[in-house]
Chain A
Amino acid sequence: MPGLGTSFGRGGATTAQQDLANADAILIMGSSMAENHPVGFRWVVKARERGATVIHVDPRFSRTSAMADMWLPLRAGSDIVFLGAMVNHVLQHGLEFRDYVVPYTNAATIIRGDFRDTEDLDGLFSGWDAEARRYTPDTWGYASEPSKGQRPSHEPARGGHGKDRGGEAQKIGPEPDRDETLQHPRCVFQILKRHFARYTPAMVEEVCGVPRDAFLRVADTFCRASGPERTAAICYAVGWTQHSTGVQIIRTAAILQLLLGNIGRPGGGIMALRGHASIQGSTDIPTLYDILPGYLPMPAFGADSGSLTTYIKAHRSPQGWWGHFDKYIVSLLKAWYGDAATKENGFGFDWLPRISGDHSHFGYWLDMADATGTLEGLFVMGQNPAVGAPNARLERRALANLKWLVVRDMVETETATFWLDSPEVARGELRTEAIGTEVFLFPAASHAEKDGCFTNTQRMLQWHEKAVDPPGDARSEAWFMFHLGRRLKARAAGDPRPRNAGLNALTWNYRTHGAHQEPDIDEVLQEINGRGADGALVDGYTQLQADGSTTSGCWIYSGVYPAPGRNRARERHAHGVYGQGWGFAWPSDRRILYNRASARPDGRPWSDRKKLVWWDEDARKWTGLDTPDCVATRPPDYVPRKGAKADEGLRGDAPFIMHPDGVGWIWVASGLKDGPLPTHYEPFESPFDNRVYPQQVNPAADPKARPDNAYAASPNDPAYPHVLTTYRLTEHHTAGAMTRTLSHLAELQPELFCEISPELAAAVGTANGAMVRITTPRGSIQARALVTPRIRPLRVQGRTIHQVGLPYHWGHRGLVKGDVVNDLVAISEEPNVRIFESKALVCRVEPVNQS
């Protein structure tokens, strides 16, 4: 989420799905929302019924395209060119919402004189270290900054999730050097104009394969739907993220929305559509290696090896909401370590592990594949990497190098049986009797069989109650983790070695109930909410303190359980346009983030039609249709006194309160590892050379190329002439363990298929329903050809290019079986979030002779 995090301050969707109904135009790109978020899509349908124009830009005509007013097919992997051209369209025609852009973004901020753009350096920004293959972002800074700042998020080992606000920007005061006329040649606005000048409609036609007239219709429609009286929204999903430039695609959208004044306003925003029920929750309270709950950075070895004080100094911003950083980390440590955390021992800061390398999924998995011995055992919970992970073939083979493997799932997944019936065993690449991995399969309770909480795609926590007891030995995740922790603690209790100090200090005394001693999950939510010095539940994070008197397991969730017996995630009395009273959206139940921007700097709404929150002069407070995303009593004309810290250091007209300068970041001075502005690079595998810059691929991304993770020659490998993209269907869920096993769902899409155009079918000599073989340098699979004009050949760089679509739900178990599409995909790492590139690669398609 650093794309949204660096641009706006928080790593979450800026809006709520209900609010899409208020949009005048909706651009859906990098997502097939109707297929994968059919329930939320009702609000898009509602917007269309109210007269909004729904635009779908996607390589294939999907269920979403069918519901849209306009569909533009583009070549997979060319998104930044398309969006960049929309940015350029705005700038060339002066369509920016200037009254919003000047006070609410850093467009006026002047950048250092030694910055060199991709224009000057053939597609690289200044600061590129070719040896280390990474950027030093010093030259990207604001002119008002000192020349060398501390930039912890640019340390090589660290991922990009930390604090998710990007840019430590320590010295950006509330008044950086600015030119409010936007004329200064080094102000962000002018740099932006120069940077995107080459992203023209002609370039869109040449690179994306979208005719320029069609592009202009979309750009015009979207821009016309923006301004004081109108707003336009953007929805995306993993169709944007799973690229080697994924974060920068989202950044381009963020820049477009900031220029058009569409952030923080009703019907505007960027809706990040998450792929599972609680994926937002799993970054808020992370399953990621580089952050702690609430986007606090996981301390790094070296930089954060010192004391808690130096860690806080490195990560706290003087101005902006992150000025409260110390309160959140101390309250977290107190929640975890209780009385053992004292001021003297830095509240147990040294018990936290330190990042010392690439501890991401792929970092570890490649170690596993190499049998380096760094990873002996693995817990696989709630995922099925034997089917769902890129280069699944490599991942399955790597499992055989483990000493032990624990799989917790509702069914026996392909991951749990890799040693028995995987394609590798069938092919003789693995021999069951030679595999030493001890596999433990634990049956898991489903969501209806346990109490708990989801955090959905719009940051909303929703409680679910247990309907029935789980069958047999199936248990909840909480039960498993609680009792595992309890047993580990019991074993460590008598062991005084320093490595056990943290485990011994950990508070782990949840109440249990029932025959199976299920931990009380309600109590866990109370711990997350936090308690004050008196032990009473706090009603929000503003009550948290840095002196060790308060606790909170995740500061952004604070307020979800404000009083005994009041679990706001469980509330079901929706009222108002945003459904307040139903669930709890972090932070502080704000449904539309940055909604201060829905009012003019003086606190009045931009228009009556698009009013959301406003300053009530009589009551001397902010009020409106949503919880104001600012200090409710701080007047619009507030000017901070010199040296004021944290939120008090921000002006009363600052809507992006997480940022030290209080504005939306068109320009990201630090925090992103591949540049302050988005730049088009071709995917790692592409049939085409990069027509925008000489630099072919994202230089900071890591292809992890190796013999078992090989790549086609790029550009234009004659052995792999077609573009391949993978996706999901409504009928199945991700790696399929939950849906391929149910007849009512399996029968709806009973077999792996490959969507190709009639033109490609004719070219390769196949027909609808026939088997075809799809091959990449990683693997080769078979699928039924589904020949349909919904897939169209495109004209790119003067020649015809075919695109091939593959849904990836099948594996070798379940009621319906099929080859594993992810065997075709490479493991690679986007530089900020280390995500792989499954949405744009190349392949070959051949008919299979069936005898």
Chain B
Amino acid sequence: MITAFLTDSTLCIGCKACEVACKEWNQIPSDGLRFTGFSYDNTVQLGHSTWRHVKFVERMAGTAADGDAGYRSNTFRWDFTSDVCKHCEHAGCLEACPTGSIVRTEFGGVFVQPDICNGCGYCVVTCPFGVIDRRPDDGRAFKCTFCYDRQKVGLQPACATACPTQSIQFGEISELRARAEARVEELRARGITDATIYDPQETSVGGTHAIFVLRGEPEDYNLPRAPEVPTVHLREAWTSAAIGAGLMILTAMMGFAAGRRPEAAPSTRRS
């Protein structure tokens, strides 16, 4: 079965149970005890030691004087959403990995085999979402495994299991896509007019296995509107390289063809 996450931010209460469950299950170390002052977010972003990350977006532009604040408000709001590796259909990390460490699993997820990863870091720069990251102590790259070990034995991922409000749902991908459509329709009917789906199928990543229901613009949640997998530029890049190489060869050949021996450059060294 090809599976996916559907993370519905309109149901997220920001409890971070997903972050903790992920760390517990996957035995990920702490990523530091730093107070950021950035709302209630002290883990900041996805990285080698944070595979689920809850964002806290304070939108406090308006006033709440009339009591209209929170969920129903368009201006005075605190939005939470749990971010995760997108498990792209065309995954930059996987395509860049020279060792074959990064593979696609039978569930459709993108999995880093830690025993093969040599820490080259190509995947880090090719992830359009800035998800995969190298651990400074051993250099290898880590990210969400899509709880491959749990899925193998018929369990759902730890984060989805821990979520108390079903903000993180897990299941068969087409079913979740349909559920996301229905959910956004329902929210809009309820007056939540800024509800949208984030599942970039139109760009080169070709859709993801982590679909989101959000309110407002993807940029508000630090999500790229049109993520591109860098390998789509490969043909272009190789073509340019080939043209460049051709031109260089041509230039050199033209030099030979002219039949002139170049004069030895005069020495500038004083003797």
Contact = CB atoms under 8 A, between A and B. Distances in A.
Given A66-B71, A68-B71, A815-B33, A61 B78 contact: yes
A784 B34 CA distance: 12
B130 interface: no
A61 B10 CA distance: 17
B220 interface: no
B33 A42 contact: no
Given A61-B69, A70-B72, A748-B20, A816 B58 contact: no
Contacts of A746: 30, 33
Contacts, number: 135
Contacts of A731: 16
A54 B13 CA distance: 14
A693 B23 CA distance: 55
Given A41-B13, A786-B37, A747 B32 contact: yes
Contact of B78 (A65, A729, A744): A65
Contacts of B24: 744
B77 interface: yes
Interface stretch (A209-217, A519-527, A532-540): A209-217
Nearest to A752: B35
A217 B42 contact: no
A211 B77 CA distance: 19
B79 to A, nearest CB: 7
Interface in B1-35: 11, 13-17, 19-20, 23-24, 29-35
B243 interface: no
B35 A753 contact: yes
B70 A68 contact: yes
Given A750-B42, A790-B58, A66 B37 contact: no
Contacts of B36: 769
A38 B17 contact: yes
Contacts of A38: 13, 15, 17, 164-165
Contact of A790 (B42, B66, B78): B78
B250 interface: no
B80 interface: yes
B70 A744 contact: no
B245 interface: no
A786 B34 CA distance: 14
Contacts of A790: 58, 60, 78
Contacts of B172: none
Contacts of A747: 30-34, 42-43
B70 A211 contact: no
Interface in A18-51: 34-35, 38-39, 41-42, 45, 48-49
B166 interface: yes
A394 to B, nearest CB: 29
B70 A65 contact: yes
A72 interface: yes
Contacts of B70: 56, 61, 65-71
A729 B72 CA distance: 24
Contacts of A54: 71
Is the contact region of chain A dominated by helix, strand, or loop, or is it mixed? mixed
Contacts of A34: 13-15
A789 interface: yes
A48 B67 CA distance: 17
Interface in A134-171: none
B35 A48 contact: no
B65 interface: yes
Interface in B233-252: none
A730 interface: yes
B15 A69 contact: no
Contacts of A786: 37
B258 to A, nearest CB: 68
Given A753-B35, A792-B64, A66 B14 contact: yes
A748 B165 contact: no
Contacts of B39: 788
A41 B19 CA distance: 18
B12 to A, nearest CB: 9
Is the contact region of chain B dominated by helix, strand, or loop, or is it mixed? loop
A747 B19 CA distance: 11
A768 B79 CA distance: 20
Nearest to A54: B71
B13 A45 contact: yes
A66 to B, nearest CB: 4
Nearest to A218: B67
Given A41-B164, A45-B13, A63 B30 contact: no
Nearest to A730: B15
A68 B36 CA distance: 26
B164 A42 contact: yes
A56 B72 CA distance: 13
A64 B200 CA distance: 31
B35 to A, nearest CB: 4
A781 to B, nearest CB: 15
A63 B29 contact: no
Interface in A430-487: none
A607 interface: no
Nearest to A40: B164
A117 B254 CA distance: 111
A206 interface: no
Contacts of B29: 743
Contacts of B16: 730-731, 748
Contacts of A65: 69-70, 78
A73 interface: yes
Nearest to A789: B60
A787 B166 CA distance: 31
A231 B199 CA distance: 39
A66 B33 contact: no
Contacts of A66: 13-14, 70-71, 77-80
A729 B40 CA distance: 10
Contacts of B60: 788-790
B42 A748 contact: yes
B165 A788 contact: no
A607 to B, nearest CB: 25
Given A214-B65, A751-B35, A815-B33, A63 B14 contact: yes
B181 interface: no
Contacts of A63: 13-15, 40, 78, 80
A768 B40 CA distance: 13
Nearest to A786: B37
B131 to A, nearest CB: 19
Nearest to B166: A42
Contact of B67 (A45, A67, A214, A815): A214
B164 A784 contact: no
B33 A816 contact: yes
Contacts of B78: 61, 63, 65-66, 790
Contacts of B35: 750-751, 753, 769, 784
Contacts of A745: 20
Contact of A744 (B23, B64, B69, B166): B23
B185 interface: no
B106 interface: no
B20 A70 contact: no
B13 to A, nearest CB: 4
Interface of B: 11, 13-17, 19-20, 23-24, 29-37, 39-40, 42-43, 58, 60, 64-72, 76-80, 164-166
Given A41-B164, A42-B164, A211-B65, 13 more contacts: A41-B13, A42-B166, A45-B13, A70-B68, A71-B64, A211-B66, A214-B67, A217-B67, A747-B33, A786-B37, A788-B39, A788-B58, A789-B58
12 contacts: A38-B13, A38-B164, A61-B70, A63-B15, A65-B69, A66-B14, A70-B68, A743-B29, A747-B30, A747-B33, A748-B16, A787-B37
Q: 7 smallest A-B Cβ distances: which pairs?
A: A743-B30, A769-B37, A789-B60, A751-B35, A66-B78, A214-B67, A750-B33
Interface of A: 34-35, 38-39, 41-42, 45, 48-49, 54-56, 61, 63, 65-73, 211, 213-214, 217-218, 729-731, 743-751, 753, 768-769, 784-790, 792, 815-816
